[in-house]
Amino acid sequence: MVEVTRLDVVWLFAAAAALSGSNPAAAGDPGPVNTRKEPVQITEGPEVERTTDTWAIIRWTATKVGGTSLRYGVVHYGTDPHALGQTAKSPNRFNPALPSMVFRVQMNRLKPGTTYYYRVESADALDIPEGSESPVAHFTTDQSP
Amino acid sequence: MKRSALLSVAYAAFIVGSLLLPATGARAQNPTPVPIFPPPGFVIPPSDAACILPGNKLDLQCFIANDPDAQRIRAEEAALFAEALTAANSGTLDPFHQVETLGKLEIYDPNLSVNNNLACSYCHDPMAGFANGSSVLSIYTGGSNPGSVPITVAGAYPDNRIAKRNPQSYNYSPYFPPLQFNTTQGDFYGGNFWDARASGFRLQNSAAEQAQDPPLDTQEMANPDSACVVWKLSQSVYASFFETVWGAGSLSGITFPGNTAQLCSVPGGAVNPPAQKLPLSPTDRTHAQQAYDYFGLAIAAYEIGSEVSSFTSKFDAFLAGTVKLTAAETRGYDLFRGKANCNTCHLDGRSNTQTPGEIDTGMATNAAPMFTDFTYNNLGLPMNLTLPWYSENHPDQFGFTANPLGVGFIDFGVGLFLDGYYGSPPPNFDWIALNPFFVGKFQTSTLRNAAQMPPPTPPSTVFVKAFMHNGYLSSLKEVVHFYNTRDKFAFNVQSGHCPKGTVEKVTCWPTPEEQDNKNMTIGNLGLTNAEENDLVAFLQTLTDGFVPITPASLGKPPVMRKAALPPHSQ
């Protein structure tokens, strides 16, 4: 018997509505084309802010280019530097009074004592990439306590 | 397949999913003892001593009868109701103040609850910035307030129905626009309630729709039918004043059945005897709904008025150029707009600086900034295990179980609203698909009056105010410290189980209740202890009452809200 989880139900709704064309932010819809001329530039980092045995936080600073108030920091990662098949996204909000924007992303459900390779980028609230990606870097999670 | 057909499929799946969800939860018991964190200076009031049960639990009926803050709130409520009734009966109010005064009468009227014992103001104390006004509740129940219905099942805990969250202040709530999803920003804006469920779609007034909810909430005022509230209004001492505002017959034109009193005495959710809707004719049902809408609109009128949302804080005077901030307040304000990132959500309405050290000479873009952007965020708060809600997994004497999931309940915030937790889908079916992006998010409250508190009850030297949707944080200093260090001191533990050598809420923050969509703008701000204190100093400038309300500012004789309160509460 197939177990129906809460997540399954949630994504069922998401898929149905995406097919209906009602929501540009939903999965399956490419949404509007990014016509921004000036891409975001990473000016500092990315760097590992903190690691534990099961999670880590990556942070970087980027130039502040006009866009949505809500942004997503995006980390593509994996244990093979040539196959960064996993993605972590965290919402960050734009501070209108600062000249740059710090992105922070938390990666969960990591394995202890494991080296992960990653690169970062950012996207706006509609999941449109903002224009620049970092080189691949790596970190190692802590051993289990 | 056409869009309408697909939406029908989505809705059908929604119904099936909603039915499946409860079965996945665990029926667990809340741990004993539950962890509490009384701050230095707090002493349990002697009259409450007998109300503290083993395991840091609170005998709610004992609390209701004995707590000094609860007594103070009752006295405030009676005084403000009497003040409003005098004004209503004066015959001198202009139309503007008539509707405002009607809302005031409704808000301070305990007779509008199922057992005639609970006014809106019980959970929204004017002296506490219209939020929870009891220190004991802030510590022992996460600020959640007991409702109208006692639980009489022998040995039951809690022994009174009680809300699932810390009550959100309603000051400035009418300034929140009706909920809308902005497709350019990819975000929800507006609505009322922590979880946006008062969307305002029908009345185009979120605060009015918010006001219609607690009278029917099984855990709060617990009326079984909105028509019961209308019937109670028709029996009130201000029924004729209601019709002065809304028109002759708006109450008296409704024919209620002969057994209305009996039907309306059964609390919402009851199985035995069953809670029922009043058997009204279609025309009377329509008129009753209209009257209930008027009820909500009048409350919104009171909430937007000068007694609740007055724009008279020190910060407002600062914006007007009539007062300067202190050095600490200025440092706090600079941090608020800069390093601390507060104004990423709590917008202050000022113009932008683009380079470090640049002086902002701009005026506020809005002369009355709201200190919120009306959006929703997951701050990563831990579960607050003191909430008695987690123990409401047993049927009460009416056969009603408020929270079948017990401690297995996860508060998904806006996610609950979007996935039909309240018994129906969101009013805009397109919003259902947005659920994954809003799970765990709660409304960004205005910061105005967050620092407002009543005086402590001796021998305590502090009043304890609960903050956030679950009341896990119990001072502004804790709030700022959480924003500053959430990720620096994050531990994968539940509240009450921080590792040895750490102190919960100081050097240990338990794991978030919900990780999805956790806002990472905060969590490691790098603020010093002195900077945290400066931020608190700034937040205290947002409390109304700094600028006196004058005849010139109102165009009428001054309204001295606190003048009617008993001396000990001023």
* pLDDT winner (highest mean) among A91-95, B17-21, B128-132, B350-354: B128-132
For a pLDDT cut of 70, what percent of chain B falls above it?
88
Whether the predicted pLDDT of B560 surpasses 50: no
Segment B421-466, tens digit of pLDDT: 999 999 999 999 999 999 999 999 999 999 999 999 999 999 999 9
pLDDT recorded at residue B26: 36
- Token representation of residue A134: 């970092």
pLDDT recorded at residue B552: 53
Give the one of A6, A93, A127 whose C-beta lies nearest to B344's C-beta: A93
Q: What is the mean pLDDT of residues B3-30?
A: 43
Rounded Cα distance, A84 and A137, in Å: 11
Q: What is the mean pLDDT of residues B335-362?
A: 76
> SS3 breakdown of chain A: % helix, strand, coil, rounded to 5?
10, 40, 50
Rounded Cα distance, B206 and B300, in Å: 9
pLDDT recorded at residue B14: 45
Whether the predicted pLDDT of B558 surpasses 90: no
Chain B CB contacts of A125 under 8 Å are 185-187
pLDDT recorded at residue B567: 40
Instruction: Judge whether A124 is closer than 8 Å to chain B, CB to CB.
Output: yes
First-last CA distance in chain A: 37
Whether the predicted pLDDT of A12 surpasses 60: no
Per-residue confidence band for A64, with pLDDT thresholds at 50, 70 and 90: confident
Instruction: Judge whether A115 is closer than 8 Å to chain B, CB to CB.
Output: no
Residue B53 phi, psi dihedral angles, 5° rounding: -95, 165
pLDDT recorded at residue B326: 97
The rounded mean pLDDT for chain B is 91
Residue of higher predicted confidence among B10 and B68? B68
Whether the predicted pLDDT of B358 surpasses 80: no
Residue B345 near residue B441 (C-beta atoms within 8 A): no
pLDDT recorded at residue A100: 87
Rounded Cα distance, B69 and B458, in Å: 11
Give me the interface pTM, i.e. the ipTM.
0.85
Chain B CB contacts of A21 under 8 Å are 3
Instruction: Judge whether A103 is closer than 8 Å to chain B, CB to CB.
Output: yes
Whether the predicted pLDDT of B113 surpasses 90: yes
Within 13 Å and on the Cβ side, how many CA atoms surround A104? 18
DSSP string, B162-201: E-SSPPPP-TTGGGSPPPEEETTTTEEE--BSTTS-B--T
Least confidently predicted of B70-79, B315-324, B338-347, B363-372:
B363-372
Q: What is the mean pLDDT of residues A8-12?
A: 38
Chain B residue at shortest CA distance from A101: B521
Per-residue confidence band for B547, with pLDDT thresholds at 50, 70 and 90: confident
Residue B504 phi, psi dihedral angles, 5° rounding: -60, 135
Least confidently predicted of A1-15, B231-245, B340-354:
A1-15
Quick one: DSSP state of residue B293?
H
Instruction: Judge whether B517 is closer than 8 Å to chain A, CB to CB.
Output: yes
Helices B95-107 & B68-90 angle (0-180, nearest 10)? 150
Using alpha carbons, list the distances in angstroms from residue B31 to B261, B387, B419, B496.
41, 11, 28, 10
pLDDT recorded at residue B108: 98
Whether the predicted pLDDT of A125 surpasses 70: yes
Helices B239-246 & B226-235 angle (0-180, nearest 10)? 110
Instruction: Judge whether A48 is closer than 8 Å to chain B, CB to CB.
Output: no
pLDDT recorded at residue B353: 54
pLDDT recorded at residue B1: 39
Residue A118 phi, psi dihedral angles, 5° rounding: -155, 160
* pLDDT winner (highest mean) among A17-21, A121-125, B558-562: A121-125
A80/chain B closest Cα distance in angstroms:
25
Per-residue confidence band for A14, with pLDDT thresholds at 50, 70 and 90: very low
Residue B557 near residue B551 (C-beta atoms within 8 A): yes
Q: Phi-psi region for residue B108, left (φ > 0), alpha (ψ -120 to 50) or beta?
A: alpha
- Token representation of residue A130: 């903002």
Rounded Cα distance, A129 and B484, in Å: 28
Give the one of B9, B433, B521 whose C-beta lies nearest to A92's C-beta: B521
- Token representation of residue B186: 């990819």
B478/chain A closest Cα distance in angstroms:
22
pLDDT recorded at residue A96: 76
Chain A CB contacts of B26 under 8 Å are none
Segment B292-314, tens digit of pLDDT: 999 999 999 999 999 999 999 99
Q: What is the mean pLDDT of residues B385-395?
A: 97
Whether the predicted pLDDT of B512 surpasses 60: yes
Whether the predicted pLDDT of B155 surpasses 60: yes
Residues in CB range of B75: below 8 A, 6 or more apart: B565, B566, B569
Q: What is the mean pLDDT of residues B348-355?
A: 64
The rounded mean pLDDT for chain A is 79
Instruction: Judge whether B361 is closer than 8 Å to chain A, CB to CB.
Output: no
Per-residue confidence band for B350, with pLDDT thresholds at 50, 70 and 90: confident
Least confidently predicted of A52-61, A129-138, B117-126:
A129-138
A53/chain B closest Cα distance in angstroms:
10
Whether the predicted pLDDT of B154 surpasses 80: yes
B548/chain A closest Cα distance in angstroms:
31
Compute and round to an integer the Cα radius of gyration of chain B.
Answer: 23
Using alpha carbons, list the distances in angstroms from residue B451 to B9, B324, B419, B447, B538.
48, 19, 34, 8, 10
Three-state secondary structure call for residue B291: helix
Amino acid at B266: V
pLDDT recorded at residue B433: 96
Rounded Cα distance, B344 and B447, in Å: 13
Give the one of B185, B360, B429 whose C-beta lies nearest to A69's C-beta: B185
Whether the predicted pLDDT of B16 surpasses 50: no
Instruction: Judge whether A83 is closer than 8 Å to chain B, CB to CB.
Output: no
Segment B270-299, tens digit of pLDDT: 999 999 999 999 999 999 999 999 999 999
Instruction: Judge whether B488 is closer than 8 Å to chain A, CB to CB.
Output: yes
Q: Is B523 exposed, middle or buried (0-12, 13-18, 19+ CB in 10 A)?
A: buried
Whether the predicted pLDDT of B64 surpasses 60: yes
Rounded Cα distance, B235 and B251, in Å: 9
- Token representation of residue B518: 């956790």
Chain A CB contacts of B185 under 8 Å are 68-70, 125
Least confidently predicted of A92-106, B42-56, B366-380, B538-552:
B538-552
Q: Cβ of A99 and B355 within 8 Å?
A: yes
